[in-house]
Amino acid sequence: MKELKNERIEILRTLKFNTPLKNQFFRELAKTSNPFPWLEDLIDEGYFDPETYPGPKEVPDKKGYFTMPYWEPSGYLENLAKLNYRDNDQKTTRLLTEIVDNYIKHDFIERNYRTDYLFLKVIFYLPKDEITSEHINFISIALNSKWDSSLIQSELSKTPIKKLIEYNRKDLLIQLLDIILNFKKKSGEYYDEYNSIMDEFWLNKTLESNKDAIAQFCALDACKVAKNKMLNILNCDEHQFVIPAIEDHPQTMFHGEYDNQLVYFVRDMIEHSYSKEVRELIIEFKDSNFSIFKRIAIHSINYYYDYLNDIFWNWENNPLDDYKLKHEIYRLFKLRHEKFENDDEKINTVIKWIDNEEYIVNLEKESSEPIKIAYEKLKWLSAFKESKNQKIQLLIQEYKEIYPDKIDHPDFDIWIEGPIIVGPKKSDELCEKSNKELSEYLNEKDELKSVFDKSEISESFIKCVSDNPTRFTKDLEPFLDVSKENQYNLIYGLLSAWRSEKTFECQEIFDFLLQILEDNDFWKEDYTNKTNYRNWIVSVVADFIEIGTIDDRYAFENELLPTVEKILLILIKNTEAELPKMHDLVTSVLNSPLGKIFSSMIVFSMKCFRETEKFPNAIKSEIGNQLENPPTELLVTIGRFLPNLCAIDREWVKNNIKLIFSDNDNRWKSTVIGYLFYSSTIYTDIYNLLKNEGYYGKAINADFEDRYINQRLIQHICTFYLKNEEKLDDPDSLISKLINHKNIQQVSFLINFISSRKESITIDQIKPLWYKLIDTFSENGNAENCVIIAKLARWLELVEEIDDDIFNWLILSAKCMKSQTSMSIYIENLTKHVEKSPAKVGKIFLELLKNTPEFKKEDIIKIVEVLFQKEENRTANYICNEYRLKGLDFLRETHEKYN
């Protein structure tokens, strides 16, 4: 026995200095049925010491490009763990656990995701009592590594959850769910994003593969983990989790997105397990401040109607008043009416809710047309169209006589068509007063301390004006003495009427506006530490002018154009910049006083041009003066309206182009952002003007925070490439500059844009561009360049045949391919070509094989099967043997079939 041990030690010491022999030795140990005798000797000889685990290695002469070396004992350790899981030798278990614990506790400078993947598998071959919280926490560390964690994620979809359930380790399962359901917050200048720490594909696969088992084992505990993640996000941003329906629904376009997956997981856990705790949770959700939880509550009541319906029927207030709950309530009525249609109390409750819905009550109090009221009530009653309750059917019949048309999708606001009129309670009362009485009443009510009461009066005043605009086209002098807030409400009411396509005379309205704006005190009032109603008035006046000039069918009289021009010039000369920080720069400008004024000035100029074929001199001159030291709002607005300005006065644009696109980077960016954001239509003359002036070229080198702006830039350039107006052989063309700039994000957008033109692009357009990108990004084999080379493999789906050129490019892509997810997409596309080009596909796969693609096993099997059938036996056998040497045996049957 001692002699055998000495012999083993001698062998192990020899192997340390003979790498090929060591690799072969561990390959044999990876498949032996008795690996146990070697374990202690390997430990004693230092084969499991922390320094033996290889970290990422930078490729020589390829700065920034790393490989993940394979740790030679990997196959042996996995084989040992598998066999010990079956035999459960206590000594081996103890040593194996020590090896695992030493590994997960070691603070590696850089993690090797291949070795992490191995130890994740080994952990779940340990006996149930040996798996600890530290082992689960290791998964979090591995997932949050800066390197690709797709191998770790793929394993999470298979074994760990099932094992923890098998071992009855709820504590560890909840800890694991807390990790895999976690999110990362990406802060932006205007808004934050919340994304899963896992790739959404693997998160979905993990949850779908294990959802039933989790539900049977610990549904509510698991549900609470996801609920808490949602709460953490909602407490930061209450506007998250905007989802069309709680059930799977065609209106939900992206089921796999993180927020949807959390909602669906909570829903499914509740649906899988009814208990007293479920009832308590639904009551908690019903009373939540967040509508998404109320919606889940109603969905769950619908699902467990027999057990939970009392929660719904005892809703504290009228649930129909919360419009966000509309779909779930409607669906409950539609699916469950048979359960309560013979219960007079519940039917009367439904009718009472409908009759007393705040929105419908407002319509009735305002004496709205019966057809509008019938329409709103029928939207709810349509859920009962199959009901046998006579009272309900009589109501439906009664309202159908008033509104006989079909109502499509009554439970979705986005699909609603028809009249929708909202109005506060007091609008009719206010409209009965003369303007003098009304102004005195408003001044009196300004003294009210109740914010609610003041708000109701303001909304009623706006409603009174918007419903009866002609009443406010004369005798406006009394409103010169009301508060700035009420002056704003008056103008806003008129604006609302115009937006509703009501027409009215504007002479006295504009005279009234001039009186306000020509008063020096209006511009001198200090609004420090209080609401700036001056800016409110400025903004609404600008909007009022824009809406009155944008559409000739509803425009004010042409003889008022000089007065309106005067108002605009007063506004622009007196208004100070106040740029709010919103979702993005364009949105901020749209909501700023100056942004609204400049927009109104240009829309007004377009109206003047339609009438006189001239750019109004005073406006043109003022914009020109402003361009000498332009505010951001002007530059964004000119960018937005650049095509319109070219139509009005192309020469003015050309003469001022250097001011419009200032040399100052921040100013220049503002114009470009405004232009690209709105340029859904690309005009050839403007494209060529900006190209010839060098602004597109400058945009290529700019750093735009908003991805959308970069995407639009790429769209413009690629569109003209496909029109054959951007030449790859011209170093000064924009397509050449774009590629030579070597910006990874931009070129990625280019690749995606070309991929999206699958139906219209030709091989003659694809190949030169493919060649150019390969030639450019293969010059330096760093990691970033390799990302582009790898991504180009997506164009394989655009071609019918792998010719020699494309074959060489695909080989390069295969060499650069590192992500398991990307390789799986590549392999799926290769399967479509293996019948026609087996030799080429085989050689491409041999390059991929160096990184051991492990996903899409069914596609790998198909490729190997076809290679054998096409007599590419050497390649097929090599692929099978390489997988088996790495401990992956899914090709064993295919290999044996053809050998």
pLDDT (tens digit, 9 = 90+) per residue, 338-391? 888 888 898 898 889 988 888 888 877 777 678 888 888 888 988 888 888 888
Percent of residues, the chain, with pLDDT higher than 70: 94
Both tokens of residue 752?
A: 């995606």
| Inter-residue contact 254 to 293 (CB < 8 Å) | no
Q: What is the mean pLDDT of residues 620-638?
A: 92
Per-residue pLDDT at 804: 94
Q: Of 67-76, 440-449, 715-724, 850-859, where does the model show the most confidence?
A: 715-724
Helix (H) or strand (E) run with residue 67 in it: strand 66-67
DSSP-derived 3-state class of residue 738: helix
219-252 burial: b if 16+ Cβ within 10 Å, else e: bbbbbbbbbebbeebbeeeeebbebbbbeeeeeb
DSSP-derived 3-state class of residue 392: helix
Per-residue pLDDT at 188: 65
**For 547-579, what is each residue's pLDDT tens digit?**
888 887 778 888 999 999 999 999 999 988 888
| Inter-residue contact 69 to 113 (CB < 8 Å) | no
**For 38-56, what is each residue's pLDDT tens digit?**
888 888 888 888 888 888 8
pLDDT surpassing 80 at residue 510: yes
Q: How far is CA 269 from CA 281, 809, 823, in A?
A: 12, 48, 33
Q: What are phi and psi of 433, to 5 degrees?
A: -85, 155
pLDDT surpassing 70 at residue 220: yes
pLDDT tier, 7 (very low <50, low <70, confident <90, very high otherwise): confident
The full length of the chain comes to: 899
* CA 230/CA 761 separation, integer angstroms: 43
Q: What are phi and psi of 163, to 5 degrees?
A: -65, -45
pLDDT surpassing 60 at residue 254: no
Nearest to 320 by CA among 271, 356, 368, 267: 356
Q: Compute the C-alpha angle 219/225/230, nearest 5°.
A: 120
Per-residue pLDDT at 831: 93
Say which DSSP state 196 is in.
Answer: E
**For 428-455, what is each residue's pLDDT tens digit?**
778 888 889 888 888 887 776 555 567 7
pLDDT tier, 865 (very low <50, low <70, confident <90, very high otherwise): very high
Least confident of 186-195, 532-541, 793-802, 887-896: 186-195
Q: Which residues pair with 183 in a beta bridge?
A: 196
Nearest to 199 by CA among 217, 221, 184: 184
pLDDT tier, 620 (very low <50, low <70, confident <90, very high otherwise): very high
Nearest to 595 by CA among 637, 550, 538: 637
Per-residue pLDDT at 316: 85
pLDDT surpassing 80 at residue 311: yes
The 3-class secondary structure across 839-850, one letter per residue, is HHHHHHHHHHHC
Per-residue pLDDT at 477: 92
How many Å separate Cα 561 from the centre of its chain?
44
* CA 21/CA 14 separation, integer angstroms: 9
* CA 173/CA 180 separation, integer angstroms: 11
Per-residue pLDDT at 851: 81
pLDDT surpassing 50 at residue 657: yes
**For 831-846, what is each residue's pLDDT tens digit?**
999 999 999 999 999 9
* CA 777/CA 855 separation, integer angstroms: 27
Per-residue pLDDT at 5: 65
Q: How far apart are the first and last CA of the chain?
A: 40
Helix (H) or strand (E) run with residue 185 in it: strand 183-186
Amino acid at 577: A
Q: What is the mean pLDDT of residues 126-140?
A: 90
β-pairing, 66-67 vs 193-196, is unpaired
* CA 475/CA 471 separation, integer angstroms: 9
Nearest to 146 by CA among 63, 32, 68: 68
Q: Compute the C-alpha angle 123/124/128, nearest 5°.
A: 100
* CA 589/CA 850 separation, integer angstroms: 52
Helix (H) or strand (E) run with residue 194 in it: strand 193-196
pLDDT surpassing 60 at residue 584: yes
Supply the DSSP string of 771-798, one letter for each residue: HHHHHHHTSS--HHHHHHHHHGGGGGGG
* CA 77/CA 635 separation, integer angstroms: 64
Q: Within a 10 A sphere around the Cβ of 577, how many other Cβ atoms? A: 12
pLDDT tier, 416 (very low <50, low <70, confident <90, very high otherwise): very low
pLDDT surpassing 70 at residue 583: no
* CA 201/CA 258 separation, integer angstroms: 10
pLDDT: which is higher, 92 or 449: 92
Least confident of 5-9, 513-517, 812-816, 866-870: 5-9
Per-residue pLDDT at 420: 33
Amino acid at 116: D
* CA 667/CA 129 separation, integer angstroms: 65
Per-residue pLDDT at 64: 65
Per-residue pLDDT at 417: 29
* CA 833/CA 817 separation, integer angstroms: 19
Per-residue pLDDT at 430: 80
| Inter-residue contact 572 to 630 (CB < 8 Å) | no
pLDDT surpassing 70 at residue 219: yes
**For 475-493, what is each residue's pLDDT tens digit?**
999 999 989 999 999 999 8
* CA 758/CA 471 separation, integer angstroms: 58
DSSP-derived 3-state class of residue 183: strand
pLDDT surpassing 80 at residue 117: yes
Q: At what angle do helices 344-355 and 326-340 cross, to 10 degrees?
A: 150
| Inter-residue contact 493 to 465 (CB < 8 Å) | yes
Query: Mean pLDDT over all residues of the chain?
Result: 85
Say which DSSP state 271 is in.
Answer: H
Q: Compute the C-alpha angle 269/272/278, nearest 5°.
A: 70
Nearest to 714 by CA among 699, 693, 694: 699
Per-residue pLDDT at 404: 83
* CA 831/CA 838 separation, integer angstroms: 10
Residue tagged 């944008």 (tokens): 550
| Inter-residue contact 760 to 41 (CB < 8 Å) | no
Amino acid at 525: E
CA R_g for the chain: 35
pLDDT surpassing 70 at residue 687: yes
E strands along 420-509, which residues?
Answer: none
Alpha helices in 88-145 (DSSP H): 90-105, 113-123, 133-143
Both tokens of residue 814?
A: 């295969």
Supply the DSSP string of 558-607, one letter for each residue: GGGHHHHHHHHHHHHHHPPP-----SSHHHHHHTSHHHHHHHHHHHHHHH
* CA 376/CA 324 separation, integer angstroms: 16
Percent of residues, the chain, with pLDDT higher than 90: 28
Per-residue pLDDT at 424: 46
Per-residue pLDDT at 638: 92
* CA 862/CA 880 separation, integer angstroms: 12
pLDDT tier, 716 (very low <50, low <70, confident <90, very high otherwise): very high
* CA 334/CA 336 separation, integer angstroms: 6
Q: Within a 10 A sphere around the Cβ of 112, how many other Cβ atoms? A: 22
* CA 87/CA 30 separation, integer angstroms: 17
